[in-house]
Structures are given as structure tokens and as C-alpha cells.
């Protein structure tokens, strides 16, 4: 009888296993991924004090659409679900919870801003939802031990602060530094990096520090404070709205007087200038790491594929010529710097045969001088 029951149970189990085989053979994915779609969540400041950053998210959405129009990735379409967080931490929490619990995304991608990312970091890690390429350089987002589901994207703000300090020490050793910073991880990390970089000289060179809150309508009082102590060099760790207020003056007034078409060029070229300088800064950071032994040249060569030295070239000259003179000069100087870095990049990273062909750029000039004296 027991054998009969055993055979009955075994036969039933086999039958169940066989009947379940097609189902068990189905591919298993995490929530948010199927054979045809990958759901990706993003919040961005489409409104609010940092709405200038929304351009990034709009561009990313356009790029994802292009990928989908070309067939997606291995047959899967990228479903990028975007919500406005207004650069407000409470709003970011609300929108990210919606992405995770209602939309059921596989991951979040490039949430923009230090305050918004900080507000949802613990939640996303508790839910084991990747916080991929958080658009911030605050140090708290490079902590794999405590936040393994978070991966930062921007260069580290403290590292940037130390680099700025080195530049100041070299070029403005007697500067009276006034500091204005956003009172959050972004501003405080920049401040820490700057002070670390200045070392013992921080106490004598920094004449004033002042911060602002995201909710402040203006930073007029902070600027007055820096002027009152005689600061002749301002270190500004702020976001677009407040940085623009800090820069308000004759040049800003000139920009406001531009007609609609030129105003659009002004905004476009300002963004291109920022992008160009960020790319150059990333390239310099990579090669600084090589010089200090933090990575090999081969590793830097792989990483530098992410740096687009040919990106963000300026628009037509006839429109550039209508911009304020100060901006024209900045564009010209940035293009000159970009050309020099491109030449360096080619010299450093080109194959040996190409480096030999490049040779010493002074040789043609020296040959011309030699020929002139031999005549």
C-alpha cells in the first residue's frame, strides 16, 4: 500500500512537473523588465529653482526615443517615465515612490540634483531598486558599503573643490576669498574640498563664508556680505538660479536687453560653454589621476571614451557676433583651450605609429627659421 501511495505521489509530482515545465521555462526578470520592455524611472526639475537642468532630461528622453525608433536594445523598448520633482526633496520622495510602487520601474536613472537624490537614497536602497548614475557629485553617493544600490555620476565635488584650491594658490596666491554656497551636501562638499586644498592658508585667505537655502528668493544679502569684507575672489558653489543672481551686473543687464533670437543663442551658447568646460575638466581629472598613480594610462584611455572633446562646438559666427563681448571672449578662450587639449589627447593616446607622424609641432616652425637664415 505504501508503495502504491509512493508511486501515486511520484507520478502526480512528475505530472505536475511536466505540466509546469512550459511555465518554468519562461524567462524570469526583475520587476520592470520583460522580453519587450525595460521600465526606467526619472525625476527632474522641470520647474522650480533648478529648472535649467531640465534640458538634460529632455535630451535624454530624445536619445531614448531615437534608440526605440531604431528597434530598442535586443528587441526591448526603453520606457522612460519622467516626473517633475521641482528640485524639492519632499516632491522627489513622492514621485520616486510613485515610480517604484505604481509604475514598477526596474531602476531609476539620472535623478537630477543632490537634494532630490539624498531624499530618496535610503528608500531606493531599502527597496533594492538601482539608483543609477545619480546626477550629483556629493560624496555620499559613492558609498557602496552602506548604499550598494546607488551609483553616482558627476565628478566628486570635494575633489573639484581641491582642484579649484590648487588653481587659486597658483594664480591668485594673495586672494581674499569670499565663499557662497548652497546649504546642502552639494555646497558643503565643495566647501570642504576647497578648504582641504588650501590647507593652512585657508584661515588667512578665506575672509567670509555665507550660505543660502533653496527656498530663499534671492541671495542679495549674501552678496552684500561678501562685498562688505573686501572679497576680491568669489568661490560660488550654487545652482543655476542663484549663480545667475550672483553674476548679475553690467554683463547680465546687457544680456537681458537682447532680442528674442539672440537671447535664444545666448542661452544655447551658455549651455554649450558649460558643457565644453565640463568635458575638458573631466579629461584633466582623468589625466591627473594617471599622473598621481590612481589609474594607468590604459585605464584612462578606456574611461576617456565617455569624454566628448568634440562636443558642444559653437553655432554660426553671424549669431555669435551678436552676443555680449564678454561671452564671446569666454567662448573663444574655451575653444582655444579645447583645441590644445585635443592636440594633447591625440599625442598621448594615439597609436605609436600615429604619434611618430604627429612629431614635434615645433619642427615645421624651426625648419622655416633655419631656411630663412640659410638664404
Span 37-152 CATH architecture: 3-Layer(aba) Sandwich (3.40)
229-264 burial, b at 16+ Cβ within 10 Å, e below that, comes to: eebebbbbbbbebbeebbeeeeeeeebeebeeeeee
C-alpha span between 268 and 69 (Å, rounded): 26
For 157-248, the fitting CATH number among 3.30.450.70, 3.40.50.2000, 3.40.50.2300, 1.10.1040.10 is 3.40.50.2300
Each of the 375 residues of the chain gets a pLDDT tens digit; together they read 334 433 333 333 333 333 344 444 456 899 999 999 999 999 999 999 898 899 999 999 999 999 999 999 999 999 999 999 999 999 999 999 999 999 999 999 999 999 999 999 999 999 999 999 999 999 999 999 999 999 999 989 999 999 999 999 999 999 999 999 999 999 999 999 999 999 999 999 999 999 999 889 888 899 899 989 999 999 999 988 888 777 655 556 677 778 888 888 888 888 788 888 888 888 888 888 888 888 887 777 777 666 666 656 777 888 888 888 888 898 899 888 888 888 888 777 666 555 555 455 555 665 666 565 555
Superfamily classification of domain 254-358: Protein of unknown function DUF1465 (1.10.8.930)
Q: Whole-angstrom distance between the N-terminal and C-terminal Cα of the chain?
A: 118
Residue 155, helix vs strand vs coil: coil
CA nearest to 310, candidates 351, 341, 352, 264 = 341
What is the per-residue pLDDT for 58? 94
Amino acid at each position: 500500500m505504501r508503495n502504491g501511495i509512493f508511486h501515486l505521489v511520484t507520478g502526480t509530482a512528475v505530472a505536475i512537473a511536466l505540466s509546469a515545465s512550459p511555465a518554468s521555462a519562461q524567462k524570469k526578470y526583475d520587476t520592470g523588465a520583460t522580453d519587450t520592455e525595460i521600465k526606467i524611472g526619472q525625476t527632474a526639475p522641470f520647474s522650480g529653482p533648478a529648472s535649467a537642468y531640465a534640458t538634460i532630461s529632455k535630451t535624454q528622453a530624445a536619445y531614448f526615443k531615437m534608440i526605440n525608433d531604431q528597434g530598442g536594445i535586443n528587441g526591448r523598448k526603453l520606457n522612460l517615465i519622467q516626473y517633475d520633482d521641482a528640485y524639492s526633496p519632499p516632491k522627489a520622495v513622492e514621485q520616486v515612490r510613485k515610480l517604484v510602487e505604481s509604475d514598477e520601474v526596474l531602476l531609476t536613472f539620472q535623478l537630477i540634483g543632490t537634494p532630490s537624490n539624498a531624499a530618496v537614497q535610503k528608500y531606493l536602497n531599502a527597496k533594492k531598486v538601482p539608483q543609477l548614475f545619480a546626477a550629483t557629485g556629493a560624496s555620499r553617493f559613492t558609498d557602496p558599503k552602506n548604499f550598494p544600490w546607488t551609483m553616482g555620476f558627476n565628478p566628486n565635488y570635494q575633489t573639484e573643490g581641491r582642484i579649484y584650491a590648487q588653481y587659486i594658490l597658483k594664480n591668485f596666491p594673495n586672494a581674499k576669498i569670499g565663499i557662497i554656497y548652497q546649504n546642502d551636501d552639494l555646497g558643503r562638499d565643495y566647501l570642504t574640498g576647497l578648504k582641504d586644498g588650501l590647507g593652512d592658508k585657508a584661515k588667512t585667505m578665506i575672509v567670509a563664508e555665507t550660505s543660502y537655502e533653496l527656498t530663499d528668493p534671492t541671495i542679495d544679502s549674501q552678496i552684500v556680505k561678501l562685498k562688505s569684507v573686501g572679497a576680491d575672489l568669489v568661490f560660488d558653489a550654487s545652482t543655476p538660479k542663484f549663480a545667475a543672481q550672483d553674476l548679475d551686473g553690467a554683463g547680465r543687464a546687457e544680456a537681458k536687453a537682447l532680442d528674442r533670437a539672440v537671447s535664444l543663442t545666448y542661452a544655447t551658447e551658455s549651455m554649450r560653454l558649460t558643457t565644453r568646460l565640463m568635458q575638458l575638466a573631466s579629461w584633466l581629472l582623468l589625466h591627473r589621476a594617471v599622473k598621481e598613480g590612481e589609474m594607468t594610462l590604459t585605464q584612462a584611455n578606456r574611461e576617456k571614451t565617455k569624454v566628448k572633446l568634440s562636443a558642444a562646438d559653437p553655432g554660426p559666427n553671424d549669431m555669435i557676433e551678436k552676443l555680449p563681448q564678454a561671452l564671446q571672449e569666454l567662448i573663444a578662450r574655451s575653444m582655444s583651450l579645447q583645441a590644445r587639449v585635443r592636440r594633447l589627447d591625440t599625442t598621448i593616446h594615439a597609436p605609436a605609429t600615429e604619434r611618430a607622424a604627429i612629431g614635434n609641432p615645433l619642427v615645421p616652425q624651426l625648419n622655416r627659421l633655419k631656411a630663412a637664415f640659410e638664404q
